[in-house]
């Protein structure tokens, strides 16, 4: 399990463990999340704090089950690791980059951002 200190968090997983159906996860019952974690925490070997730590745990076979970013797990699979990526009940998340309005280096910042989106950059001004 990952994300105890933030990031994507662990609320969905904790509620699933406690028997909450996927269509009843929201609004999140925060008290139930922490009660569920209290029940299972002794069985959690390691809470990850950064994405590379998840990848290292997968590589070292330090956990039986974990959530991860596709790219991290896929890289290990491509290198021959005996892992299976299962996207059932997967969570979709988005990353955003922001460049401050009026930034003196806005053009350089735009050039440094990855261009993996087919539509290129979308400009939004606040």
Could you tell me if 68 and 3 are in contact, meaning their C-beta atoms sit under 8 angstroms apart?
Answer: no
* pLDDT tens figures, 33-82: 999 989 988 888 878 778 788 889 888 988 888 878 788 888 899 999 88
Q: Is residue 86 part of a domain?
A: no
Rg of the Cα atoms in the chain: 18
- pLDDT in the model for residue 119: 46
Classified as helix, coil or strand, 48 is: strand
- Torsion angle of alpha carbons 118, 88, 17, 32, nearest 10°? 40
Q: What is the pLDDT of residues 76-88, one digit of tens each?
A: 999 998 888 888 8
CATH number for the domain that contains residue 27: 3.40.190.10
Q: What is the pTM of this model?
A: 0.57
* Residue 4 within any structural domain of the chain: no
Kindly list the distances between the CA atom of residue 24 and the CA atoms of 33, 57, 87, in Å, as whole numbers in the listed order.
Answer: 13, 31, 19
Beta strands in 21-111 (DSSP E): none
Domain membership of residue 18 (yes or no) is yes
Number of domains observed in the structure of the chain = 1
- Is 124 domain-assigned? no
Expressed as residue numbers, the domain containing 28 is 11-78
pLDDT digits (tens, 9 = 90+) for 109-121: 887 776 544 444 4
Asked if residue 43 belongs to a domain, the reply is yes
Asked, for residue 16, whether it belongs to a domain, the answer is yes
């Amino acid at each position: 399990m990952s994300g105890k200190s933030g990031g994507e968090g662990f609320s969905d997983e904790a509620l699933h463990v406690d028997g909450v159906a996927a269509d009843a996860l929201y609004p999140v019952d925060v008290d139930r999340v922490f009660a569920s974690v209290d029940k299972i925490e002794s069985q959690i070997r390691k809470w990850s704090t950064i994405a590379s730590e998840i990848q290292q745990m997968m590589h070292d076979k330090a956990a039986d089950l974990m959530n991860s970013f596709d790219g991290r797990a896929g890289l290990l699979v491509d290198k021959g690791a005996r892992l299976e990526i299962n996207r059932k009940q997967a969570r979709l998340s988005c990353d955003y980059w922001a460049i401050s309005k009026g930034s003196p280096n806005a053009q350089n910042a735009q050039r440094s951002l990855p261009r993996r989106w087919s539509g290129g950059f979308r400009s939004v001004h606040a």
